[in-house]
C-alpha cells in the first residue's frame, strides 16, 4: 500500500510543479516595457522622499533647512559671502538669505531656461560639478540633495536673486514653476533669498525646533571663521518657552574651531588651552583643534567641507591613529615611557579628549545622501601627516602642557588596567556560577531576544507588583535598589563595584568596555520604569547616563524606552479612567460634568470624596452641590436624582498600583504608552549630561537658575 501511494504521488507533484512553472512563466511574459516607470523632473523625490532626506519626520523637516543653509555656507567658503540670516515666519515658512553672488539668472545653453529655474527644478544641477574653473573649489553641497529637493518637498517656494542691480524672482509649487522668472525691482545688494513652505502631505510634523536650528547655525559659524550667521524667529507661538529664548540670535567667532572646542568644554575642568593648527596639503586643507579635560569620556567631532560626518570616515581614522602615535612617541622621547613599558592604547590617549577635525577637499566622496561618512581614503594620510607634525611641534614648544596631557593619559591607563581586573572579576564570577543571572531578576521564559523585553523597576515594592502583573512569556523584571552610581563621575572599575549596575550588565548579557558584544543582547526592548516623582526622575536620569556613556549603541538602535505610568486613577461607579497628566485628569472630570468652578475644590479633597463624611465636608457651606460628585439634586420634575461618586487616586509610586493596574496601564503592549529614547544631536546630549551629572557645580547652578521659572507643579 505505501508503495502504491508513493508511486501515485510522484506524477502528481510533478504535475503541480509544471502548472506552477507555467503560471510563473505566463506572469513573467507580462513583464514588458509597460511595467517600466520613468519618473521625470522631481517626481522621484516626492515619490520616495526618504531616499533624499533620510525620513519625513522632524529630522527630515529640518534637513530642508540644512540644505539651503549649506548652499549659503558654500558661498562663504568660496570667499563670496560673509552674512547669512535664517528666518522662521509665523505662516510656517522658512527663509534663508545670504549676501553671496546670487544664483545665476542668465539662460542656460543646454535647457534654454534661466539658470535659476534649472538649479531649483532639476536634480544634480548646480555650479559644484566642474573643475578648477567651476563656481566652487570646495563645497559641502556637491553630494547633497540640494535646493531642488527642498523645492520638490515644499508646497510653495519663492526664490529671489539680487544681482546686476536687479531683483529676479520666481515661484514654484511642489517643484514646478508657477510662472516664468521675472524682474520685480532694483537691487541695492547682492545674494540669494530662498523661502519655502514644507508640504504637509509629505511631512509628519511642520513644527521647527529653534534649539536644533540654533545648534546647527552655531556649529557652522564656528567652522567658517569670519562669517556672521543670524536667526530671526518671527513665530507668534513657539514650542519652547519665550522666557528662555529671545527672538534674534547672532553668531560670529573669530577663533573658529578653537572657539568651538572651548564651547564644548565650558562645563568641564580643562587641561591647558585649546590646541589649534591648520595646514594645506596636496589632498586638501586640514584644520584641527583639541583640548583635554578631567572627564572620562571623549568627544570628537569631524567635518568635511563643513558637513558634520557623524559616522566619521577616513579623516577621523587618520586623526585617531596620529594622536596615539604622537603621544606615545613624545612620552618615550621624554623617558616617561620606559623601554620595558607598553605603549598607551588608543582608549588611554582619548579619555577626556575633546577635538574638532575639519577638512576641505575638492572632490568629497560621502557615503549616502545624508553625508554621514567621508569615503576619501587620501584624507587619512593627509590628516595623519598634519597631526603628527604639528602636535609634536606643539609639545616641544609647550613642554609643561605636554607633561600634563601625558599624566592624564597615564592615569587613564592605570584605570583601564583596574577596570579590566574588575570586569574580568564580574565575568569570572558569572562563569563560576554557571553564568547564572542575578537572583533578583525575574526572567522571561522565551529565549528569542527579538520578542523579549526587560523592565528596570525602581524598588522591591514596585518590582513585586511588576513581577505579578507581567506576561511571563516575554517580559522580564529587574528591580533596582536605591539610586545607582553616577557614572559621569566614575571610571569603569568603580562602576563595576556597584552591585545594581553589575546586575544590570549581567542581565543584559552584552558585557562592557573592551569585551562589549551587542549581538549577545538578551532583550529587544529595555524599559526604564520609575515613579512619577522627583526621586523617580533622578533614578531615570542616572540610568540614562549609564546607557549614554557606556551603551550608546543601544540608544542609537532604538532599544531603550521609558515607561509612562499614570498619575491618577479616576473612578465613577464602574467607569474607571487613568490620567497620565493633570490636563488629562481635568479633561475627564469635565467630560463627566464636573464644572470648572468645582475643579479646584475637587482637587483639595481628592482623598475625601470617596466617602460620605468627606463628601459632606466638601458640600457644607456651598449653595450648590458640585456636579459629578456624589450627592442629591432636583431633576426637571422635582424628583431626587442621585449621582455616582467620583474618586481620584494620585499614584505617588508604582508600588501603590496593584499588579492588574500596573499591567493594564503601563505594561500591556496593546494599551501602554512608552517613550523611545533617541539622541539626534550628540553635542546637545553630551552637554546636558556634563552639565547635570558632571563634577563642575557652577554650570549646574546656572542651569537651575535659568530654568527654575519654567518648572511647574514641582513635587517635593
256-270, 548-562, 617-631, range with the lowest pLDDT: 617-631
669: enclosing H helix or E strand: none
Q: Are 243 and 710 in contact (CB under 8 A)?
A: yes
The backbone torsions φ and ψ at residue 50, rounded to the nearest 5 degrees and listed phi first, read: -60, -25
Specify whether 113 is located in the same domain as 225. Answer: yes
Residues 90 and 231 grouped into a single domain:
yes
- For residue 76, what are the CA distances in angstroms to 40, 220, 305, 445, 534? 33, 11, 11, 60, 48
Task: Please tell me whether residues 227 and 339 are part of one structural domain.
Answer: no
Q: What is the pLDDT of residues 539-590, one digit of tens each?
A: 999 999 999 888 988 998 899 999 999 888 888 888 888 888 888 888 888 8
Kindly report the three-state secondary structure assignment for every residue of 409-448: HHHHHHHHHHHHHHHHHHHHHHHHCCCCCCCCCECCCCCC
Higher pLDDT, 159 or 54: 159
User: Within a domain: residue 619?
Assistant: yes
* Alpha-carbon distance values, 477 to 255, 437, 454 (Å): 51, 12, 6
Local confidence band at 89 (pLDDT 50, 70, 90 cut-offs): very high
Last residue of a domain, one of 617, 650, 683: 650
H/E segment holding residue 244: none
Number of domains in the chain: 3
Of 7-11, 387-391, 417-421, 698-702, the range with the lowest mean pLDDT is 7-11
Neighbours of 241 (CB within 10 A): 10
Torsion of CA 624, 629, 635, 640, to 10 degrees: -100
Task: Mark whether 152 and 197 lie in a shared domain.
Answer: yes
**619 pLDDT exceeds 50?**
no
Per DSSP, the residues of 331-387 read HHHTTSS-TTSPPPPHHHHHTTEEEEEEEE-SS--BSTTTT-SB--THHHHHHHHHH
Nearest to 506, CA basis, from 493, 491, 523: 523
In a domain, 359, yes or no: yes
Classify residue 230: in a domain, yes or no.
yes
Average pLDDT over residues 589-595: 77
Split at pLDDT 50, 70, 90, the class of 11 is very low
pTM: 0.70
Q: Would you state the pLDDT for residue 616?
A: 37
364 and 273, same structural domain?
Answer: yes
Whether residue 114 is found in the same domain as residue 201: yes
Predicted local distance difference test score (pLDDT) of residue 428: 57
Asked if 348 and 409 sit in the same domain, the reply is yes
Residue 11 lies in a domain: no
Residues 6+ apart with CB under 8 A from 79: none
Residue 29: per-residue pLDDT: 53
Q: How far is CA 588 from the centre of its chain?
A: 34
Q: Which residue has the cell 553625508?
A: 371
Domain-located, residue 429: no
Residue 66 grid cell: 540644512
Q: Tell me if 241 is assigned to some domain.
A: yes
Task: Please tell me whether residues 114 and 63 are part of one structural domain.
Answer: yes
> Is 334 inside any structural domain?
yes
Same domain, 212 and 246: yes
Cα 84 from Cα 89, distance rounded (Å):
16
Provide the pairing of β-strand 166-173 with 176-177: antiparallel
User: 200 and 273 share a domain?
Assistant: no
- Is there a domain that residue 710 lies in? no
pLDDT at 618 over 50: no
How many alpha carbons fall within 13 Å on the CB side of residue 317?
A: 12
Catalytic residues, by residue number, are: 458, 531, 533, 535
Measuring CA to CA, how many Å separate 153 from each of 91, 216, 393, 617? Answer: 17, 21, 50, 61
Cα 267 vs. chain centroid, distance in angstroms?
Answer: 21
**Of the residues 362, 397, 417, the one at which a domain ends:** 417
In terms of domains, do 358 and 212 share one?
Answer: no
Co-location of 277 and 221 in the same domain? no
- What are the pLDDT digits (tens) for 118-161? 999 988 665 554 444 445 555 554 434 588 999 999 999 999 99
For range 681-694, the mean pLDDT: 74
The whole-number average pLDDT for the span 609-628 is 35
Long-range contacts for 531-538 (Cβ within 8 Å, ≥24 apart)? Answer: 531/458, 531/459, 531/462, 531/565, 531/652, 531/653, 531/654, 532/565, 532/567, 532/651, 532/652, 533/652, 533/653, 533/715, 534/714, 534/715, 534/716, 535/458, 535/483, 536/458, 536/653, 538/483
- Cα atoms in the 13 Å half-sphere on the side-chain side of 682: 15
Q: Which of 226, 208, 223, 203 is nearest to 86 (CA)?
A: 208
Distance CA 595, CA 281 (A): 74
H or E stretch at 192: strand 191-198
**For residue 636, how many other CB atoms are within 10 A of its CB?**
6
- H or E segment and range at residue 599: helix 596-604
Tens of pLDDT, residue by residue over 300-332, are 999 998 888 888 899 999 999 999 999 999 999
Range of the domain at 314: 269-417
- The pLDDT, as a whole number, for residue 613 is 37
For 423-455, write each residue's pLDDT tens digit: 666 555 554 343 467 778 999 999 999 999 999
Average model confidence (pLDDT) for the chain?
80
50: cell is 526618504
DSSP secondary structure letter of residue 621? T
State residue 679's pLDDT score. 79
Residue 321, pLDDT score? 95
Q: How confident is the model at residue 397 (pLDDT cuts 50, 70, 90)?
A: very high
275 versus 642: the higher-pLDDT residue is 275
pLDDT band for 364, please (50, 70, 90 cuts): confident
DSSP state of 665: I
Radius of gyration of the chain (CA): 32
CATH of the domain at 154: 3.30.565.10
pLDDT digits 0-9 by tens, 162-221: 999 999 999 999 999 999 999 999 999 999 999 999 999 999 999 998 888 998 999 999
Looking at residue 30, its pLDDT comes to 57
Q: What is the pLDDT of residue 627?
A: 33
* Structural domain ending residue among the three candidates 626, 650, 674: 650
Average pLDDT of the segment spanning 58-74: 92
Which residues are within 8 A (CB) of 138 and not within 5 positions of it... i.e. 6 or more apart? Answer: 77, 78, 284, 285, 305, 360, 361, 362
Amino acid at each position: 500500500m505505501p508503495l502504491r501511494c508513493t508511486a501515485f504521488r510522484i506524477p502528481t507533484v510533478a504535475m503541480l510543479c509544471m502548472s506552477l512553472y507555467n503560471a510563473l512563466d505566463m506572469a513573467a511574459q507580462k513583464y514588458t516595457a509597460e511595467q517600466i516607470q520613468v519618473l521625470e523632473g522631481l517626481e522621484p523625490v516626492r515619490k520616495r522622499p526618504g531616499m533624499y532626506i533620510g525620513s519625513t519626520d522632524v529630522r527630515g523637516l529640518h534637513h530642508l533647512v540644512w540644505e539651503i543653509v549649506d548652499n549659503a555656507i558654500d558661498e562663504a567658503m568660496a570667499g563670496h559671502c560673509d552674512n547669512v540670516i535664517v528666518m522662521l515666519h509665523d505662516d510656517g515658512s522658512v527663509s534663508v538669505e545670504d549676501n553671496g553672488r546670487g544664483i545665476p539668472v542668465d539662460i542656460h545653453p543646454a535647457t534654454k531656461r534661466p539658470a535659476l529655474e534649472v538649479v531649483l527644478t532639476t536634480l544634480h544641477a548646480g555650479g559644484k560639478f566642474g573643475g578648477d574653473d567651476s563656481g566652487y573649489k570646495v563645497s559641502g553641497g556637491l553630494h547633497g540633495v540640494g535646493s531642488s529637493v527642498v523645492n520638490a518637498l515644499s508646497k510653495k517656494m519663492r526664490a529671489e536673486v539680487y544681482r546686476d542691480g536687479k531683483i529676479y524672482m520666481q515661484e514654484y509649487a511642489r517643484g514646478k514653476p508657477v510662472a516664468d522668472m521675472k524682474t520685480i525691482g532694483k537691487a541695492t545688494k547682492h545674494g540669494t533669498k530662498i523661502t519655502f513652505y514644507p508640504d504637509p502631505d509629505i511631512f509628519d510634523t511642520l513644527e521647527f525646533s529653534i534649539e536644533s536650528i540654533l545648534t546647527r547655525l552655531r556649529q557652522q559659524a564656528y567652522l567658517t571663521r569670519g562669517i556672521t550667521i543670524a536667526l530671526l524667529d518671527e513665530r507668534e507661538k513657539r514650542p519652547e518657552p519665550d522666557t528662555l529664548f529671545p527672538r534674534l540670535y547672532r553668531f560670529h567667532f573669530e577663533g573658529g574651531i578653537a572657539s568651538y572646542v572651548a564651547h564644548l568644554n565650558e562645563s568641564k575642568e580643562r587641561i591647558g588651552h585649546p590646541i589649534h593648527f591648520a595646514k594645506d596639503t596636496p589632498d586638501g586643507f586640514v584644520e584641527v583643534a583639541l583640548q583635554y579635560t578631567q572627564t572620562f569620556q571623549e568627544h570628537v567631532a569631524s567635518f568635511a567641507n563643513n558637513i558634520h560626518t557623524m559616522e566619521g570616515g577616513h579623516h577621523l581614522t587618520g586623526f585617531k591613529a596620529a594622536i596615539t602615535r604622537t603621544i606615545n612617541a613624545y612620552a618615550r622621547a621624554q623617558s616617561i615611557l620606559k623601554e620595558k613599558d607598553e605603549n598607551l592604547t588608543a582608549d588611554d590617549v582619548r579619555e577626556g579628549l575633546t577635538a574638532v577635525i575639519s577638512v576641505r577637499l575638492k572632490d568629497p566622496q560621502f557615503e549616502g545622501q545624508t553625508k554621514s561618512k567621508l569615503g576619501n581614503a587620501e584624507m587619512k594620510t593627509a590628516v595623519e601627516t598634519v597631526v603628527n607634525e604639528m602636535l609634536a611641534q606643539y609639545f616641544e614648544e609647550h613642554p609643561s602642557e605636554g607633561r600634563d596631557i601625558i599624566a592624564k593619559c597615564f592615569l587613564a591607563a592605570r584605570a583601564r588596567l583596574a577596570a579590566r581586573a574588575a570586569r574580568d572579576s564580574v565575568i569570572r564570577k558569572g562563569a563560576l556560577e554557571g553564568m547564572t543571572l542575578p537572583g533578583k531578576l525575574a526572567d522571561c521564559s522565551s529565549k528569542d531576544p527579538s520578542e523579549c523585553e526587560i523592565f528596570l523597576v525602581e524598588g522591591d515594592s514596585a518590582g513585586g507588583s511588576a513581577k505579578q502583573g507581567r506576561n511571563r512569556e516575554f517580559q522580564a523584571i529587574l528591580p533596582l535598589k536605591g539610586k545607582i552610581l553616577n557614572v559621569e563621575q566614575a571610571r569603569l572599575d568603580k562602576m563595576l563595584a556597584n552591585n545594581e549596575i553589575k546586575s544590570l550588565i549581567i542581565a543584559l548579557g552584552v558585557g562592557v568596555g573592551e569585551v562589549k558584544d551587542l549581538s549577545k543582547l538578551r532583550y529587544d526592548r529595555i524599559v526604564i520604569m520609575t515613579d512619577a516623582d522627583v526621586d523617580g526622575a533622578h533614578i531615570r536620569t542616572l540610568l540614562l547616563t549609564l546607557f549614554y556613556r557606556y551603551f550608546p549603541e543601544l540608544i542609537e538602535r532604538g532599544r531603550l524606552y521609558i515607561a509612562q505610568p499614570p498619575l491618577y486613577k479616576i473612578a465613577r461607579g464602574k467607569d474607571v479612567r487613568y490620567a497620565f497628566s493633570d490636563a488629562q485628569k481635568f479633561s475627564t472630570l469635565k467630560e463627566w460634568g464636573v464644572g470648572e468652578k468645582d475643579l479646584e475644590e475637587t482637587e483639595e479633597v481628592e482623598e475625601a470624596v470617596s466617602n460620605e463624611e468627606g463628601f459632606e465636608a466638601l458640600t457644607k457651606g456651598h449653595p450648590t452641590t458640585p456636579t459629578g460628585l456624589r450627592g442629591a439634586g432636583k431633576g426637571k420634575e422635582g424628583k431626587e436624582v442621585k449621582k455616582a461618586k467620583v474618586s481620584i487616586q494620585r499614584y505617588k509610586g508604582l508600588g501603590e498600583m496593584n499588579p492588574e493596574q500596573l499591567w493594564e496601564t503601563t505594561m500591556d503592549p496593546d494599551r501602554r504608552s512608552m517613550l523611545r529614547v533617541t539622541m539626534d544631536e550628540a553635542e546637545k546630549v553630551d552637554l546636558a549630561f556634563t552639565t547635570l551629572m558632571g563634577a563642575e557645580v557652577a554650570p549646574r547652578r546656572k542651569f537651575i537658575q535659568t530654568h527654575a521659572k519654567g518648572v511647574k507643579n514641582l513635587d517635593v
